[in-house]
Amino acid sequence: MLAKKIFFIGGGMMAEGIINGLVINKTLNSSKDIIVCDIVPARLEYLEKTYGVTAQPDKAAGIKIADMVVIATKPQDAESVSPPIVEHAKAGTIVMSICSGVTVERLSSFVKGKFPIARIMPNTLIDSQHGYSAAVLSDGFSADDKSFVETFLNALGKPVFVEEKMIDAFTGFSTVGPAWIYSLMIAMIDAGCRAGFSREDAKKMTLENMVGTCKLLQKTGNHPLEIVDAMASPAGVTIEAFYELQKGRFGGIVQKSIMTSFKRSTAVANE
C-alpha cells in the first residue's frame, strides 16, 4: 500500500472504474486517501457512499494535499481545470490525465511545465483486473514517480509504457480489443442455440472454452496456430470448421476491423 493521496478532478464513469480498482486492490493506505471533485453534488455523494472516498468539491483544497492529480474530465475541459493545479499543487506532484487525444506536450503546457505528466489510456476490463492500461510519461520522470504510476496502473490490470506515437494504436487495438472477443462469443452462443442447446447452456460452454483457451495459451506459451494444428485431425471436424473460417476470410475481416478502429482512434485524437 502507498502512503499517498490521489485527487480526481472529475468523477465520471471512467474515474469510477479506476477508483474501484484502487479500492479493491488497496493501493493506498485508505480509501479516504482518494479524493474526488465533481460539479454534480449527487455524483460526489454516490462515490463517497459506494467507495468510501473523500468528496471534496473545492479543487484547491484537494490539489494542495495531493501527491497525484488525475484530470478525469472531458478532453475539451482539460485546459480549463488546470490553472488551480499550477497555483496550488506542491512541487513534484504528478499530473495524470485520462483525457483522450490530449498529448503530453499540451498537458505540460496547461500546467506551465512545472510538473511530471503521465498520460494514460485505461483498459475496459478494470472490474476483472485484466487487460493492459498504457502510459506515456513526460521527460525527466524519476524512478520513484514511475514506480508510483506503475503501482497505480497495476490496480487496473497490467501496465505498459509506450511512446506517445503508439497511444492511438493502443486505443484502437488493445482498449477496443474486448469488443472483438464479445462479437465472437455472441456468434458462438447463437450457433450453440442453432445446434439445439439452450441459450444459457451455450453461453456457459462458450465462456468455459474462452477462459480455458486463454489459460492454456498462457501456460504453454504456444502460438494459437500450434494448438489448432494439433487439434486438426485429417478429414476431421476441427479442420473442416477451420476451413470455413478461412474461406469466409475471418482473419482478414478481423484485421480490417482492427485497422479501422485504429484509424478512427487517430481521427478522434485530431478532431
Q: Where are the domains of the chain?
A: 6-167, 177-270
- Cell numbers representing residue 145 in the block: 514517480
Q: Summarize the confidence of residues 58-63 as an average pLDDT.
A: 96
Q: Does domain 6-167 sit in CATH 3.40.50.720?
A: yes
| pTM greater than 0.95 | no
Residue 51 has pLDDT above 80, yes or no: yes
Q: Which CATH superfamily is domain 177-270 in?
A: ProC C-terminal domain-like (1.10.3730.10)
Long-range contacts of the stretch 260-269 (C-beta < 8 A, 24+): 261/172, 261/173, 261/176, 262/168, 262/169, 262/171, 262/172, 262/173, 263/172, 264/172, 265/168, 265/169, 265/171, 265/172, 265/176, 266/168, 266/172, 268/100, 268/101, 269/100, 269/101, 269/168
Could you tell me the CA-to-CA distances from 148 to 95, 195, 252 in Å, in that order?
12, 51, 40
With a CB cutoff of 8 Å and minimum separation 6, the contacts of 219 are none
Q: What percentage of the chain carries pLDDT values higher than 70?
A: 99
Q: Is the pLDDT of residue 267 over 80?
A: no
Residues 95 and 116 sit within 8 Å (Cβ to Cβ) = yes
CB 54: neighbour CB atoms within 10 A?
19
Q: Out of 86-100, 207-221, 256-270, pick the least confident.
A: 256-270
Q: Give the pLDDT band (50/70/90) at residue 82.
A: very high
